[in-house]
A and B are shown apart, each in its own frame.
Chain A
Amino acid sequence: MFNKNIDLGFDLKWDNIPDDDHFKSTMKQVYEAHPTLTPHHYVINGLPVYFNKDDDVISIDLSAGADSTMLFYILASIITTLNVTPKIVIVTMIRFWETKSSIEDNVGLILEYFKEKFPNLDIIRERCFVPPSLESTPMKNITFGANNKSVFQPHIIEGADTAVYAIDNFSQYIRQKYKIKRSYGGITTNPDQLDGPEFRKKRILSDNDLAMYSMNWPRQDPFLYIQKNWVMAQYENFNITDLRDMTRSCSTPDTVLDAVHGKDNWNVIGSAYVCGQCFFCHERAWAQDNMSLLLQQNHI
């Protein structure tokens, strides 16, 4: 199984984890398919994370949630350990602003934290604003022209909403603007026990899925096949519970927070005021309750 190959984190004792554990079984599948990772994969507490030292510009989608913040932390740590200085473009989505308070300020505070902890990082911030009506307008209603041809398959145009186009087009713009070599996202797989977003549903991994560990893909989602309990464990392992508490998973509308905490009696900074009812709150609680096997103290 994968062993630590960078001066960061600890070596996981795989025998201390039961075989039916989701993280272990997934990593075993990856290992069996690709026992030799690319030279750009660094094993961080059991998980291979891709970073190419030659990438002079990378982007990270940062929502201020626990997953994307942890991914940023791991990449920042790898970059610092390798003593390289890529430009890091942090991309934040602003969505549903009419019904949900903006997490822009939360992202700002998290970036300040990183700038203090990793003063040598070259960080640039970009915001993608999605006008709310695009989320409910079918993509097929959009008129594509000669200079902005659709890049989508017919079934996506038929089934997706216009926000998908807006976000994809913004990504293209950012890629062109900064000449980004690699972009990163921190999406995880839903826990087995909870009904979450369909696209994050646990599924049988194909050879193509696993090829991520043998190819130099321009898009990297290192957490794509693992669950949030591994992510939450790393806040303890790296001793950054202060950063964890700055992150926000809850994604409920303001009206629900009004009902839970009272109007004008809450804010969306960090995880102090959450609804405790949405999928993301349930997932985070589940992850906290199920992370102990992945803590360093169980691998000494």
Chain B
Amino acid sequence: MFKKNINFGFDMKWDRLPDDNLFKRHMKLIYNAMEDVNSPNIHVVNGLPIFFRKSEKAISLNFSGGADSTMLFYLLCRIIESTGAKTKICVSNLVRFWEDRSWTEDNAREIFNYIDAMFPSIEKELYIGFIPPAMEMTPLKNLNLNGIYFDDWVLENADAGVYAVRSFTDYVCHKNKAEIRYSGTTMNPEEQLDDNAPAFRRAREIREEELWQFFDKSPGKIRDPFLLINKDWVMAQYENFNLQKLREMTRSCEANKLGMDTKFKPGMWHPRGSEMVCGDCFFCKEREWAQQNCGIYLEEFHK
């Protein structure tokens, strides 16, 4: 199984994790399918293989200001620092649902600045994009896509916001000549936490092609290192790397303004960090679940 091959983090003692643990199961799946496990471009961080090629001039990162993409941002900085790469990180954040949700871009900006201060020698740039809210309600197939390719399933089921996100990421990559794009999407917990869990992140039987993006030789440009793991691993890393302050700056809650007004009274709450959250949405429940279940990924568990 995967062994630490970078100068930070710890070596996971795999036999301490139960065999039915999702992280262990999926890492085993990747490990067994991977021919290039010893590639210098595969960096094993606390059990998880993360692809990064030192020669990249620029990479892009989809960044929401949530716990997952923030952790990926941090880990990419650590890997860049550790490998001595000169890679620029082009961080793209999107303002979404501004009319009715409690998100703000200020939260993402604060986190970006915080990580920037931690790694001052790494070049980074924050790009803030914007999705007009009605795009998220419009079927993707209603757009005149002028030949832009989407998988049939996506075309049939996704909304136009998916195109808007992709177009903005494409633009950021094009502008910076970045080839590889990173994303910090995790998989929903196997136990049903809420009816509104995003379907595209559902716990599922892993298809072979889902493993390819972990391989060095993959021709794909998208790298989603958390795609096959749950948030519990991610939350554990905030403890492992002693980043509790950063963790508290991240925001998972996606409550709408009305819900927050009801819970805290109008004008009595702010949408920054994780201090004031609804506690009821899927993302709040998932985060709480992850905090409760992260113990087996903590370094002390593997000493």
Closest A residue by C-beta to B130? A170
A interface size (C-beta, 8 A): 29
User: B39 on the interface (CB 8 Å rule)?
Assistant: no
**Could you tell me the distance between the alpha carbons of A250 and B142 in the complex, rounded to whole angstroms?**
32
The interface residues of chain B lying within 8 Å CB-to-CB of A136 are 144, 146
**Could you tell me the distance between the alpha carbons of A5 and B134 in the complex, rounded to whole angstroms?**
46
Closest B residue by C-beta to A176? B98
User: How many whole Å from A149's CB to the nearest CB in chain B?
Assistant: 9
The interface residues of chain B lying within 8 Å CB-to-CB of A79 are none
Contact indicator A173/B95 (Cβ below 8 Å): yes
User: A81 on the interface (CB 8 Å rule)?
Assistant: no
In A114-148, the 8 Å CB interface with B consists of 127-129, 131-134, 136-138, 141-145, 147-148
In B141-191, the 8 Å CB interface with A consists of 142-146, 148, 160, 163-164, 167-168, 171, 174-175
User: A94 on the interface (CB 8 Å rule)?
Assistant: yes
**Could you tell me the distance between the alpha carbons of A169 and B97 in the complex, rounded to whole angstroms?**
11
In B115-142, the 8 Å CB interface with A consists of 128-130, 132-135, 137-139, 142
The interface residues of chain B lying within 8 Å CB-to-CB of A102 are 171, 175
CB < 8 Å neighbour of A133 from B129, B137, B148, B171: B148
The interface residues of chain A lying within 8 Å CB-to-CB of B168 are 129, 131
User: B100 on the interface (CB 8 Å rule)?
Assistant: yes
The interface residues of chain A lying within 8 Å CB-to-CB of B99 are 147-148
User: How many whole Å from A93's CB to the nearest CB in chain B?
Assistant: 11
User: How many whole Å from B158's CB to the nearest CB in chain A?
Assistant: 13
Closest B residue by C-beta to A163? B132
The interface residues of chain B lying within 8 Å CB-to-CB of A141 are 138, 142-144
Interface of A, secondary structure class, is mixed
Contact indicator A137/B142 (Cβ below 8 Å): yes
The interface residues of chain B lying within 8 Å CB-to-CB of A128 are 130
User: How many whole Å from B262's CB to the nearest CB in chain A?
Assistant: 16
Beyond A133-B143, A133-B146, is A145–B134 a contact (Cβ under 8 Å)? yes
The interface residues of chain A lying within 8 Å CB-to-CB of B144 are 133, 136-138, 141
**Could you tell me the distance between the alpha carbons of A127 and B145 in the complex, rounded to whole angstroms?**
23
The interface residues of chain A lying within 8 Å CB-to-CB of B98 are 173, 176
- Could you write out 22 A-B pairs with CB less than 8 Å apart? A94-B171, A129-B130, A129-B167, A129-B171, A131-B164, A134-B143, A136-B144, A137-B142, A137-B143, A137-B144, A141-B138, A141-B143, A142-B135, A142-B138, A142-B160, A145-B133, A147-B133, A165-B132, A165-B134, A166-B132, A170-B132, A173-B130
Footprint of B on A, CB under 8 Å? Answer: 94, 97, 102, 104, 127-129, 131-134, 136-138, 141-145, 147-148, 150, 162, 165-166, 169-170, 173, 176
Footprint of A on B, CB under 8 Å? Answer: 95, 98-100, 128-130, 132-135, 137-139, 142-146, 148, 160, 163-164, 167-168, 171, 174-175, 256
